[in-house]
Amino acid sequence: MSDSEAREFRIQAENKAKTIKTLSTGFVQQKHMTFLSLPIETSGEMLFQAPDKLLWKYTKPYVYSIIFSDSKVHINNEGNKSTIDVGNNKTFEKINQLIVGSVSGDLFDDEAFTITLFKSKDFNTAVLVPKSSINQYISQLELYFSKSDHTVSEVKLIEPSGDYTYIRFQNKKTNINLDPNTFKNN
Amino acid sequence: MIQTRLKIISLLLLVVSCKSYLPPDVVLLKNKTTIIENTYFSDMEKDYIYRANIEAYGNTFGGLFIVKKTNEDTHRVVLTTDFGFKMLDVEVTQNAFEVHFIAELLDRKAFRKTLEEDFKILLKPSYKVYETYTSERLNVFKSKFKNQDVFIFKDQENNSIKEIKLISKSKVKTSFSFNGVNSTLAQKITINHTDLDLKINLTQRQK
């Protein structure tokens, strides 16, 4: 990607991220580990509300939801609810910001990442290498932006070992009305 | 004279305090079985994936517990969060416990030691039998893990391992329960520590 293409891609993605107030999408998540015969697949739906509320709801093969909201992670494990305050753990707070940013596309922070941009037939891709302590969990993050609507379509989180998590978003809808209770661990 | 009496009393006390653990309501049999095979986690073709729920000191941690037998005496064990972040990645043999990765949150010496013992017992391919007992529905085999006694409880009906108990100081230190056993696979496994506030619940992940 040339310098001018990179500038244009970044401006488009950043401007698009600013317009997203709410977002809903289905997702398929695959965990790839070199020693496994098959990736571990889960799927569900995800709801986002700017700037930092996120509901990650697994529906297959089990029902489980994670809400990221106000430096807290609320978990509902088939009715068993718990809350983790990550505000006092900088690493996990950064991981939360990374997950939320992966969905919204608002992750172009040169202080936190070394960023390289690429283009392919279907996607503009941002490869982010974390500079902070989260690099013990994630050595590289790849965000695949759709060329048609400039939002994130696929995410690849690569661990230092080379194992990775690959998330594909489907049926994405932006700026829809969300139930005010969506991000409460009811 | 008094010294001799004291010695005898001390010796008697020692004998009483060293009384070894025996499960309730069992009868000793003539030992015919020499080896118990642990067939859980024994298939090298299979990815063993469990939902993990770990209760420790008032906290609950949920995630995935993944086991793969990588060769005759080695298992790879990985614990991830539900979101997929790896928290622990170890290679377990009966003589080694190689940590490929451990999240700093879990990286406590005592916790590592506990997991090492738990995983080695859970994944031990076979147990040498020293004594055999029977009860109403179970056959019970006494074996050893390092220098500690281990009791293995097998269902008389389907011959599956129902429970493994690790004994320390004449008490059950850790119990491993296997439920919903289908052939060589346990749908539910519970690892319960009596000396620590730690319980690991594993439920086989449905596809």
pLDDT along chain A (186 residues), means of 10: 86 87 94 94 93 89 86 81 72 74 80 90 91 86 89 92 93 91 80
Query: Rounded to a whole number, what is the distance in angstroms from the first to the last CA of chain B?
Result: 74
Predicted confidence at residue B9, as pLDDT, reads 53
Taking an 8 Å cut-off on Cβ atoms, the answer to whether B47 and A75 are in contact is no
Contact criterion met (CB below 8 Å) for B161 and B183 = no
Most B CBs within 10 Å: which of A94, A133, A163, as the mutation test of the B interface?
A: A163
Q: Which amino acid is present at B120?
A: K
Interface list for B 106-135 with A (CB within 8 A): none
Q: Is the pLDDT of residue B18 over 60?
A: no
Q: Where are the beta strands (DSSP E) in chain B?
A: 27-29, 35-37, 48-56, 59-71, 74-81, 86-92, 97-102, 126-128, 131-134, 138-145, 148-155, 161-168, 171-182, 185-193, 198-204
Query: Rounded to a whole number, what is the distance in angstroms from the first to the last CA of chain A?
Result: 46
- Average pLDDT of chain B, as a whole number: 88
Is this complex scored with an ipTM above 0.90?
no
Place of tokens 């809350």: A83
Q: Where are the beta strands (DSSP E) in B122-160?
A: 126-128, 131-134, 138-145, 148-155
Provide, rounded to the nearest whole percent, the portion of chain B with pLDDT above 90.
Answer: 64
Tokens describing residue B104: 């700093």
Could you read off the pLDDT of B85-134 as tens digits, one per residue? 889 999 999 999 999 999 887 889 999 999 999 999 999 999 999 999 99
Contacts of B85 in chain A (CB under 8 A): 95, 137-138, 165
Positive/negative CA dihedral, B3, B9, B11, B14: negative
Place of tokens 């085999």: B141
Q: Is the pLDDT of residue B8 over 80?
A: no
Q: Which amino acid is present at A67?
A: I
Q: Which amino acid is present at B102?
A: I
Distance of residue B191 Cα from the nearest chain A Cα, in angstroms = 19
Measured over all CA atoms, what is the biggest interatomic distance in chain A, rounded to whole angstroms? 51
DSSP classification of residue A20: -
Select the highest-mean-pLDDT range: A10-14, A171-175, B6-10, B161-165.
B161-165
Contact criterion met (CB below 8 Å) for A50 and A21 = yes
Contacts of A38 in chain B (CB under 8 A): 47
Contacts of A79 in chain B (CB under 8 A): none
In Å, what is the CA distance from B136 to each residue of A186, B24, B157?
A: 47, 11, 11
DSSP classification of residue B205: P
Chain B residue closest in CA terms to A158 = B85
In Å, what is the CA distance from B114 to each residue of A99, B104, B180?
A: 32, 16, 26
The residue among B69, B75, B73 whose CA lies nearest residue B45 is B69
Place of tokens 């139930």: A179
Contact criterion met (CB below 8 Å) for B79 and B65 = yes
Distance of CA B184 to the CA centre of its chain: 17
Domains of chain A: 3-183 (2.50.20.10)
Distance of residue A179 Cα from the nearest chain B Cα, in angstroms = 24
